[in-house]
Structure 1
Amino acid sequence: MGVERIGATFAAREKEGRKALIVYLCAGDPSLEVTAAAVEELAAAGVDIIELGVPFSDPVADGPVIQAASTRALAGGTNLRKILDLVKDLRSRVSLPLVLMSYYNPLLQYGLAALAADLAAAGVDGLIVPDLPLEESAPLREKLAAVKLAAIPLVAPTTPAERLQQIAAAAQGFIYCVSLTGVTGARESLPPGIAAYLARVRETTDLPLGVGFGISHPEQARLLAPLCDGIIVGSAIVRELHEGGLPAAVKLVQNLRQAI
């Protein structure tokens, strides 16, 4: 389903007058079995799209919460192949879009042609690669396009206008709008200038805009929702799952869903 499943999800939420709720889970933290249960329970609690993070030894875009989760997942033996097996198993039970978020090195080591084929066979819908610049992304984007999977780019408040247009032209699925400069992690307030920044991105594309990095509680999500098409929550979910288990993560998702 790939790009189509992502597009249909955003279209369905728009028709309902609601925003898509997108959450990030670090696959394998604390185990792949818990990740599988989390996907099913969070989907039932109102999540629309789930990003499964591929743990990596040097997650440069991530703050301490996701770094720690990545370290735990790697220590437990989680790798890309096992995550693909997990998605394949989940596909018989969940219909929502599943997107992998991975740094480029594990993908390159896997082999791009084999990766695209195996992503499609497993039922993955798209890929987000935070450390892959546009100039170097064509080989991966071409392989994904051939199997109708979304190459979802990130843009930031510091992205210049011309580059924003180039990124938007190459994007599929949705555009991941990083809400602030810096790494992932829960923040207590909305960054200044966010409305003007998102309006600038909106002018360059018809694709949905998902906003993430730093969104930690329902009130932030409620304030941001009118400015975008989807709210992305990562570190706050990972922290709740680690500290309070699946019930705590489900409760946060229910509160976020209500807010947007």
Structure 2
Amino acid sequence: MNRFARLFTRRDRRMFVPFFTLGDPNAIASFDLICAAVDAGADAVELGFPFSDPITDGPVNQRSMRRALAAGTTYATCLDMLRRLRERYPALPIGLLLYYNLLFMRGERAYKELAAIGVDAVVCSDLPFEECATHMWQLADSRIGCIQMVAPNTPVERARKLIDSSSAFTYVISRFGTTGTSASFEQQALARIEHLSKLADKAIVAGFGISTVDQVRDFWAAGANGVIVGSLFSLQIERCLADVPAARQFIEAFVGQVQAGKPRLDFAGII
């Protein structure tokens, strides 16, 4: 069974999933910061390959990807980092947020490489549902979980189709627009999570804009099985380019506060 599927077997579990751009600010520091988040208690990770035209990302993550590319991060660099992460954390659920061209130009080989490394799930944020049949087939053939995205204005019937076609979890976008940080969310965002959590018989994970401990807990309370936070960490890395250990301390503290009072998962039980 897919590691994400095992992670979400118990519907009462509430997971925290940090997002990082692989290679930001450089490959060495990036690997260290991801490990810091996992060691601090992250339940899973979502990782992005830097891309030259990240259309679903806001300015913060766009700059994160530019830094990674400027530091010399390549597709091969990302694969190497994933191999090292999988070797270090054999049971950690690893999801990727990719732009589809990175897979399309490599074809079937790309899916087989990711499967061989031990990647658990992939979401392509720029690939419409109507055009994803080949992508979904390649994922299934390689035994990689599929993640579909539900937007704030997705009609209910379309949301059902997206949820049904997700085999790892469904990514529910918590606000209109691109990724970024938000000081607050409209009550409608939480109400939508509550509605979809009752509609779905699979795990749903909220993301886009969530950037405080209280917001994470609010989305958990509304029914999200997991919450993804990314731009906050990208922004902190940007602010600490001359002091990467300070970024590490921030990440460790944030993850620790989110997980405070919540039992630590036994990864050995979900391999």
Q: Does the aligned pair in 1 maintain the 2:213–2:257 contact within 8 Å?
A: yes
User: CA offsets per residue over residues 59-84 of structure 1, 9 Å max, x none?
Assistant: 11111110100111111221222211
Match of 1:128 in 2: 123
Equivalent residue in structure 2 for 1:106, among 102, 108, 113:
102
Aligned-partner SS, 1:231: strand
Verify the 8 A CA contact 1:241 1:249 in the aligned structure 2: no
Q: Is the 8 A contact 1:85 1:122 kept in 2?
A: no
Corresponding residue for residue 72 of structure 2: 77
Query: 2:173 aligns to what?
Result: 178
9, 18, 30: which one aligns with 1:23? 18
Confirm or deny: 8 A CA contact 1:179 1:191 kept in the other structure: no
1:190 corresponds, among 185, 189, 195, to 185
Once residues 157 and 98 of structure 2 are traced to their aligned partners in structure 1, the CA distance between those partners, rounded to angstroms, is: 26
Percent of aligned pairs with the same residue? Answer: 33
Q: What corresponds to 1:200 in structure 2?
A: 195
Q: Give the match for residue 150 of structure 1.
A: 145
**Residue in 2 that maps onto 1:163:** 158
Q: In structure 1, what residue type is equivalent to 2:231? A: S
Aligned to 1:159, the other structure's residue is in SS state: coil
Cα offset, 1:203, TM superposition: 4.1
- 1:17-44 per-residue CA deviation (whole Å, 9 max, x = no partner) reads 5410011001000112222212222111
Q: 1:222: which partner in 2?
A: 217
Structure 2: distance between partners of 1:155 and 1:225: 17
Note if 1:49 corresponds to 2:17.
no
2:57 matched to which residue of 1? 62
Aligned to 2:206: 211
Match of 1:9 in 2: 7
* 2:96 maps to amino acid: L
Distance in 1 (CA, whole Å) between partners of 2:75 and 2:158 is 31
Are the aligned partners of 1:66 and 1:235 in contact in 2 as well (CA < 8 Å)?
Answer: yes
Matched-pair contact (CA < 8 Å) for 2:172–2:204: yes
Q: Give the aligned CA root-mean-square deviation in angstroms.
A: 1.7
Question: What TM-score do the two structures reach when normalised by structure 1?
Answer: 0.92
Q: Which runs of 5+ in 1 are unaligned?
A: none
Q: 2:234 aligned with 1:238, yes or no?
A: yes
Question: How much has 1:191 moved relative to structure 2?
Answer: 2.4
C-alpha deviation, 1:239, in angstroms: 1.5
Q: How many Å separate the matches in 1 of 2:146 and 2:112?
A: 14
Query: For 1:142-186, what per-residue CA distance to the aligned partner results, in whole angstroms no more than 9, with x for missing partners?
Result: 111112111101101100122112111211111100001111111
Structure 2 portions without partners, runs of 5+: 241-246, 263-271
SS in 2 for 1:91: helix
State the Cα deviation string for residues 63-110 of structure 1 (Å, max 9, x = none).
111010011111122122221121112211113111111111111112
SS at match of 1:24: strand
